[in-house]
Amino acid sequence: MDWMLLAAAGCLECVWAVGLKYTEGFSRPLPSLLTLGAMICSFWLLSISMKTIPVGTAYAVWTGIGAAGVAVAGILLFDEPRDTLRILCLLLIVAGVAGLRIFSR
């Protein structure tokens, strides 16, 4: 169950990181509230998952999901570059996150 919470926390990290773009420096109320809500929920779920998952593993998985997810969101939403090497690097992040899950006790 804690791994599911950690995955949800990572997904919410993607939400708040992308949400920052839409807040325009926290000058837009609704996007700002949604972004802050996603931040709080993401950190809360991360903290719960750390009850049983080692801190180094949990943080690496959380940031890995966030980094890869936000990079993909940038490609899809903001027309960021989608060249082969960039995609390969994203796959390496995903492989690292999967490896941490597979090889964790």
Domain that holds residue 32: 2-102
Q: How many domains does the chain have?
A: 1
Confidence of residue 23 (pLDDT cuts 50, 70, 90): very high
Q: How would you write the chain as a 3-class SS string?
A: CHHHHHHHHHHHHHHHHHHHHHHCCCCCHHHHHHHHHHHHHHHHHHHHHCCCCCHHHHHHHHHHHHHHHHHHHHHHHHCCCCCHHHHHHHHHHHHHHHHHHHCCC
Contact 67, 93 (CB under 8 A): yes
pLDDT digits over 34-71, tens only? Answer: 999 999 999 999 999 999 999 999 999 999 999 999 99
